[in-house]
Every structure is written in structure tokens, then in C-alpha cells.
Amino acid sequence: MDILIQQVVSGLATGGIYASLALALVMIYQATDVVNFAQGEMAMFSTYLAWSMLQAGLPYWVAFSATVTIAFVGGLLLERIVIRPVEGAPVLTIVIVTLGLLVIFNSVAGWIYSYIQKPFPSPFPSTPIKIGNVVFGAHDLGAIGITLLVLVLLFLFFRFTTLGLAMRAAAQNPVSSRLCGIRVSWMLGLGWGLAAAFGAVAGMMVAPVVFLDPNMMGGIQLYAFAAATVGGFSSPVGAVVGGILVGVTENLVGTYVSFIGTELKLTVALAMIIIVLLVRPTGLFGRTVVKRV
């Protein structure tokens, strides 16, 4: 029983990380209808920026907020400069552009910082917290807490601010929003900025666990895709629940189903994607989009 609880807890921790990246994916998808393949690499790059600042001797939380701010501005600029020219192009063209960004970020990070893994500090104490026989890593709990905090902030922003309302409107019906005086194009930019900022948070939370290297986001991005699919691409809450579900399932299946072990762990996440897509293509929390013919 203790092992079960332990596995669930560590599943929750990894799930929290998947959830925050999935959240970033869902946000860009909702605001722009584009899946940003460079999301993970943008997060990785932001984390390297944080690492540089920490090396320069800045206190953790100063570096943290500076990184989030830079990521926000960077995401906004990327949309304005790189994505804007292809805004009206077919989806595949935009997909290729984000793939281009993916390889650029990956390669530039490797060039500047080399491919050697670097340890990244956690802001939380390293002593584990013990309740009964179950051990909670302080960093894991902190990562979950921060993910939840981000989600609440996001919810409040979209639900109670005019800007949040404008962003939702711009995504849902660009033409009418434009007629109401919303600057739709800038709303897309803001969406990218916010997503980049959340990606940066995710990166800084995951780096102490997997170590910092230019390819660290590869696997995680995948699980984030799985999480977003399971939860539904149209629902931020779904992304978080999906992330946690994927994290926990992955851990439990890896522990209890012997032929899967760690070798086929990734395949489990993928099987989850396919099953959800077949049974309920919009995801657990997604809404079915009714299209007019």
C-alpha cells in the first residue's frame, strides 16, 4: 500500500510538470489554433537564461521573475516578428515555421551552453517530507503548488479581466472581435507571450529533476502532448487534469506491469493518446466544436 501511495505521489509530481507545459500548449492553441512545436524548446531556452542569471549571482526568485518576464516579452516578439508574416497561411506552413523555431532554439542552446548536462538548483529545501511511511520530495510538492498557482492566476485572468475576455473573444470569433475594436492580432501575440512565460515556469520546475541540457524537453513535450490530448485541447483545466493523469498512470504502469517496465513507458503515454482520441476525440474536458458546412 505504501508503495502504491508513493508511486501515486511521484506520479503527481511529474504530472504537475507535464501539466504546466500542457497548459502552455493549450493556451496557444486556444488563442491561435496553432500547436506550437517549439513550446518545449522555448521553455528550455528560458531555463538556460535563468541558469546564466543564477551563475551571475542573482538570488533565485529574482532570476525566476526576470526569466518569466523575459520569456513573456520574447514570446510576444516571436509572434510579432516570426509568426505574423504567415498568420494567414495554411496551418501546415505555420507548423513548419514552429518546427524551424524548434531546431533553431535547440541548436543555439547547444552552441552557447554546450550539450553537457548542468545541475539546476531547486528553490525548495532538499530534505524530504515524511508522512507515515510515504516520502514526499519537497521539490515535487513545490512544483505541484506552483502549477496550481499558475492555473488559478490564469483562470482569474481569463475570467475576471477585460483583457482576458478580449483574448477569449479574439480566439473564438476574430472578425466580430475586430469589429468590437479588439486588436485581434495583438491578442495572438499576448497569447504567445503568456504561453512562453508559463513554459519558462515549467522549465525551471523540471530542470532540477532531469538536469539542464538542450534536449531535456524532448520527452516532456511528448507527455505534455499526451496530457493536452487526454484533457482536451480546448480546456486549461483539462490540461492540468490530463497532465496529472498521464504522470500517475505512467508511474503505476511502469511499476506494476512487469513487461512494460521503463522501456515501454513512453509507449504507454502514446497508447493513452490513441485510446482517448478513439473513444473521445475532444478529450475528457473538451467541448465538441460544431462546424457549419
The residue ranges that bind other proteins (CB under 8 A) are: 29, 35, 82, 85-86, 89-93, 95-97, 99-104, 106-108, 110-111, 222, 225-226, 229, 233, 263-264, 266-267, 269-271, 273-274, 277-278, 281, 293
CB of 192 to other proteins, least distance (A): 15
What 217-222 contacts at long range (C-beta under 8 Å, 24+ apart), as own/partner pairs, is 217/21, 217/40, 217/41, 217/43, 217/44, 218/40, 219/266, 220/17, 220/18, 220/21, 220/40, 221/21, 221/39, 221/40, 222/266, 222/269
Q: Which helix (H) or strand (E) holds 49?
A: helix 39-55
CB of 272 to other proteins, least distance (A): 9
CB of 100 to other proteins, least distance (A): 4
Residue pair 203/46 in contact by the 8 Å Cβ criterion: yes
DSSP states of 239-264: HHHHHHHHHHHHHHHHHH-TTTTTTT
Strand partners, 212: 118
Q: Which helix (H) or strand (E) holds 280?
A: none
CB of 40 to other proteins, least distance (A): 12
The residue among 2 and 87 lying less far from other proteins, judged by its C-beta, is 87
CB of 286 to other proteins, least distance (A): 10
The residue among 90 and 132 lying less far from other proteins, judged by its C-beta, is 90
The residue among 66 and 271 lying less far from other proteins, judged by its C-beta, is 271
The residue among 2 and 33 lying less far from other proteins, judged by its C-beta, is 33
The residue among 205 and 220 lying less far from other proteins, judged by its C-beta, is 220
